[in-house]
Amino acid sequence: MKFSIFIMIFILCLSFKVYAEDVIQGSDTGGINWTKGTVFASGYGVAGDKVPSRKKRLLARRAAQVDAYRNLAEILSGVRVSSETTIKDLEAHSDIIKTKLNAVIKGALITKDIYQNEVAQIVIEVKMDGTLIETISNKKNQPGKTSYINNISFFISHLLSPSNWHTLNKAYASDLPNSDNSLDISTFLRKLQEKIKNEPKESAIEYIKTKLDSFESKQSYSGLLVDAKNISEFELATIPKLRTKDGKVIYPTTEMLNSEAFKKRPVSYDFNVTNAVENKRVAYSPYIVKAIGTYKSRNSDLVVSDDVALFIKSNAYISKTLDKASVMIVVAQ
């Protein structure tokens, strides 16, 4: 019997070894692969001593499947949806969600099917996108879509406030190194200051739009990469939030929760910035920002500086990447 237990542990290690470089929360029965966006579980089964030899494999396999489904349900219930909610909380408050989650579990894919020394092992997994993300996001059908045009008023209101000129110049010039665009922004802000002194507000707004169109035709981003390696209190979640220092949600907004892209999961995780940049989710030229903490007691909500928040909200390319859920978070090992 001890030998059989050793074999089971050895097989389990082999089964889960492929996940070694990914961001994983797990136990001996399975876990969550936050990088690939899957929840996986392992089950074991043996047939009784009195079962005929020809049926032992079949019955052991069935027992392993039952064990795997039970473990998957337990692991899935513990998945954190946001700072305030786990899947278990959603199940407790909605029979509809509970029914949908049961269907997700029953539809789990078998990724390992091993029978050795009369011990069967089944490894199953479900993806955290598609049906699962729709079920747990509890999204409301609201019209509208977040876009750069919708955010332009936010950007303009800050530009037209003289107290924000220094902040805006820092936000752009420091975040756009080795590019002529930094000089363009600096020149733009100086000219804007003169415009506001001598021209009507409408003329200043038109000038802003023209210069932004020119700037953003040169500078593009393929995704948003949030470096949270130094935020020890951050807790992995399916739907983490990115907030300003005063708590305003930058990502994902209510409108984004309704988008088709959101079904692919709002974020993916990695341990290394270099590896994350090479991930197709952010496609090699992401806008990289550093998180400065979590928001109050909401440990799955990351906060960025005001300068960074302003740039994210006002840049057309970043707005498009957010709408496509092209977001990754780098966390500590």
Q: What is the pLDDT of residue 185?
A: 55
pLDDT in tens, 156-196: 555 545 444 444 444 433 333 333 344 455 566 666 666 66
- What is the value of pTM for the model shown? 0.69
Q: What is the pLDDT of residue 264?
A: 76
Q: What is the pLDDT of residue 110?
A: 96
Q: Which residues of the chain have pLDDT under 50?
A: 1-20, 140-154, 160, 162-183
Q: What is the pLDDT of residue 150?
A: 45
DSSP bridge pairs for 226: 289, 329
DSSP string, 118-165: TEEEEEEEEESSTHHHHHHH----------HHHHHHHHHHHHTSGGGH
Euclidean distance between CA atoms 226 and 164, whole angstroms: 24
pLDDT in tens, 120-158: 999 999 999 888 888 888 654 334 444 444 444 445 555
Contacts of 232 (CB under 8 A, 6+ apart): 332
Contacts of 177 (CB under 8 A, 6+ apart): none
Q: What is the pLDDT of residue 174?
A: 39
Q: What is the pLDDT of residue 259?
A: 73
Q: What is the pLDDT of residue 211?
A: 63
Q: Are 89 and 247 in contact (CB under 8 A)?
A: no
